[in-house]
Amino acid sequence: MREFIELLEKNDLLTVIEQELDTELEIAHLAYIEAKKKDGKALLFTNVVNKKEKVKYNFPVLMNTFCSEKALNLAFTRDYEEVAAEISSLLKMHIPTSFSAKLDFFKKLFSLKSVPPKRLKKKGEFEYQSLSSLKELPILKTWEDDADKFITMGQVYTQSLDKTQNNLGMYRLQVKSDNELLMHWQIHKDATHFYHEYKKAGQKMPVSIAIGGDPLYIWCSQAPLPKGIFELLLYGFIKKENANLVQCQNGIFVPYNSDIVIEGFVDIDEMALEGPFGDHTGFYTPKEPFPVMKITSIKAKKDAIYQATVVGKPPLEDKIMALGTERVFLPLLQTSAPDLLDYNMPENGVFHNLILAKINTNYPAQAQQLMHAFWGVGQMSFVKHAIFVDKDAPNLKDYDKLIPYMLNRFDTKKLFISEGICDQLDHASPNSCYGGKAGLDLTDENLNQRKLELLDDDDLSEIFKSKFSFLALKQFYKDTSSPITCIILDKKQNVKKIFGDLKDFNKHFRILVFLDKENKLENPYMLIWRVVNNIDSKRDFYINADTIAINACAKDESDSYERQWPKQTDCSKSVLKELIKRGILKEDKELFNKFELCGEDF
């Protein structure tokens, strides 16, 4: 970690903050804002305190480790696109025939010798000092309504009951007491499967949590590898050197050069309420029961650095981590979907909520075939909304050209609504972990599309106001054949009924999107974030011939929604003002309001 910090500094990607800052909100808020800047850097906080508990910590805090694509490549020690190309090359290996081909074949095989982790017979660097409790670590509270402090960049190491499988995951860890953590491993994760093995056998489950060390460890922890494949194999493949592991007292192996290691056992007979926590969707997750980890040991390097991240409304550090994942795993995804040319996860679609895919279309219904392939492959199965375009479409990251291209091909008949598993953090589905999915096939031109008689916003508003009340209306992409009309409602209303009442005016619109009043029509970036977060396609899509209405408002019992609708993650305005007053944060109202930091204008 120290070496990587020096690399960041050498490449002008690090800001050292020496002023005294609090683990309660202040550090997280600064990192949150920094991550939203075009030239945002990693932040190293060297004077860390908890004012409420009157504690001054011995460990610096590193935030925004993956602050840019350049930082990601520094962690990889090479370009992430090079890693993707190497994986693609390996997947295309065949039996060599010529002498030169045989040499190349064995060269590739020899390069894989560093992939398996190496288990060392000595103590780890983190054995330098023992800590008495979690109180000695600068664990952050990120959001005002978080239940407590959370470890947010912990590498969670577990193994199967028979010790034949190892797993590395990245899960949030809530502080329950001085020597207890709550393990938020979601229902679909490998660690959860291990936990059920131990529970069935009536044995406590060993768990070790490493913090810091090589930053590539934490990137590997979130990699969507197939079940049963240890994530640190990817570390060896990328860096061309073995991950060196040492054994903890509980039998779990962790990286030798970790900065901090927390070890213990999960009590299979004890659960406790975990949350709420402001997570990467930009909304708080509810209180739910999760297993309790009893800590038996906390060790740290002499010069240990505590690594953390902040999650919430996009864009944040996780977009860079996801970019590496998206590119590196494209070749593996193509083995299940061979006609997939490219895909893109827009940052304001928060990964599982929206994916764009470009395919080579060879026969009818091929997009539908690939939709089902996506929904059946690893973490892709969590994707809620997938849009497919043909090979002739613009670059999937060139949204200025891509969106008009898609809207000119829009056809309600090519919208396929299904259902299946959802991310456990998804709040829009009527049931936890299970809900609607939508796939849109835009690979063909819509030659029979009915032409609209478009009005300006004021005239369309006057017509609509004869049927229902609302605060504002704005049409986007009027130069396409399927404009998007966004409407902000002034109160809770029945969107399905409104859509039915507007059928006589459908010559003036194609796509209607209904939103709550906290939305700002001049901010399409955040509109997309809120829409894809707040909809379940089986419940919230209403189709009438070639028109569609989407209900992106908050839901309640009147929508047959029996869960509690969550609050969004908003910065504390008083904390920001105090940081500005102390000269630590520059007041940038344009940035603050663009990403709706406080939920209202600053």
Q: Flag whether pLDDT at 105 surpasses 70.
A: no
Whether the ω angle into residue 117 lies within 30 degrees of 0, i.e. cis, is no
Reported as a single tens digit per residue, the pLDDT across 453-470 is 999 999 999 999 999 999
CATH number, domain 80-300, options 1.10.10.10, 3.40.50.150, 2.40.50.100, 2.30.110.10: 2.30.110.10
Split at pLDDT 50, 70, 90, the class of 364 is: confident
Query: Using CA atoms, how far apart are residues 459 and 183, in angstroms rounded to an integer?
Result: 54
Q: What is the mean pLDDT of residues 592-596?
A: 95
Query: Using CA atoms, how far apart are residues 184 and 176, in angstroms rounded to an integer?
Result: 12
Instruction: Please give the share of the chain, as a percent, with pLDDT higher than 90.
Output: 81
Q: Flag whether pLDDT at 101 surpasses 60.
A: no
Lowest mean pLDDT among 44-53, 152-161, 196-205, 219-228: 219-228
Lowest mean pLDDT among 28-42, 95-109, 175-189: 95-109
Query: Using CA atoms, how far apart are residues 399 and 390, in angstroms rounded to an integer?
Result: 15
Q: What is the mean pLDDT of residues 204-232?
A: 92
pTM above 0.85? yes
Split at pLDDT 50, 70, 90, the class of 58 is: very high
Q: Give pLDDT, residue 376.
A: 78
Would you give the end-to-end CA distance of the chain in angstroms? 36
Q: What is the mean pLDDT of residues 115-127?
A: 93
Q: What is the mean pLDDT of residues 435-452?
A: 89
> For the chain, what is the mean pLDDT?
92
Q: Give pLDDT, residue 159.
A: 95
Lowest mean pLDDT among 104-113, 233-242, 298-307: 104-113
Q: Flag whether pLDDT at 93 surpasses 60.
A: no
Q: In a 3-state reduction of DSSP, which class is residue 160?
A: coil
List, in sequence order, every residue forming a beta bridge with 14; answer none if it has no partner: 42
Report the 3 state secondary structure along 64-90.
CCCCCHHHHHHHHCCCHHHHHHHHHHH
Reported as a single tens digit per residue, the pLDDT across 403-420 is 999 999 999 999 999 988
Q: Are strands 42-45 and 61-63 parallel, antiparallel or unpaired?
A: antiparallel
Q: Give pLDDT, residue 109.
A: 53
List, in sequence order, every residue forming a beta bridge with 512; answer none if it has no partner: 485, 549
User: Quick one: tokens of 224?
Assistant: 């969507």
Residue 43: exposure state from Cβ atoms within 10 A (0-12, 13-18, ≥19): buried
Topology of the domain comprising 317-442 = UbiD C-terminal domain-like (3.40.1670)
Q: Give pLDDT, residue 277.
A: 97
Query: Using CA atoms, how far apart are residues 485 and 78, in angstroms rounded to an integer?
Result: 44
Q: Give pLDDT, residue 155.
A: 97
Q: What is the mean pLDDT of residues 519-546?
A: 95
Q: What is the mean pLDDT of residues 155-168?
A: 94
Lowest mean pLDDT among 238-242, 264-268, 365-369: 365-369
Q: Flag whether pLDDT at 143 surpasses 80.
A: yes
Reported as a single tens digit per residue, the pLDDT across 163-203 is 999 999 999 999 999 999 999 987 777 888 999 999 999 99
CATH 3.40.1670.10 region(s) of the chain?
Answer: 317-442, 457-559
Q: Flag whether pLDDT at 108 surpasses 60.
A: no
Q: Flag whether pLDDT at 331 surpasses 70.
A: yes
CATH 2.30.110.10 region(s) of the chain?
Answer: 80-300
Q: Give pLDDT, residue 114.
A: 76
Lowest mean pLDDT among 51-55, 267-271, 330-334, 528-532: 330-334
Q: Give pLDDT, residue 95.
A: 58
Q: Give pLDDT, residue 223.
A: 87
Spell out where 381-424 has E strands: 385-390, 415-421
Task: Find which of 226-235, 342-351, 578-587 is predicted with most confidence, using mean pLDDT.
Answer: 578-587
Q: Flag whether pLDDT at 397 surpasses 70.
A: yes
What CATH code is assigned to 457-559? 3.40.1670.10
Reported as a single tens digit per residue, the pLDDT across 220-256 is 998 888 788 899 999 999 999 999 999 999 999 999 9
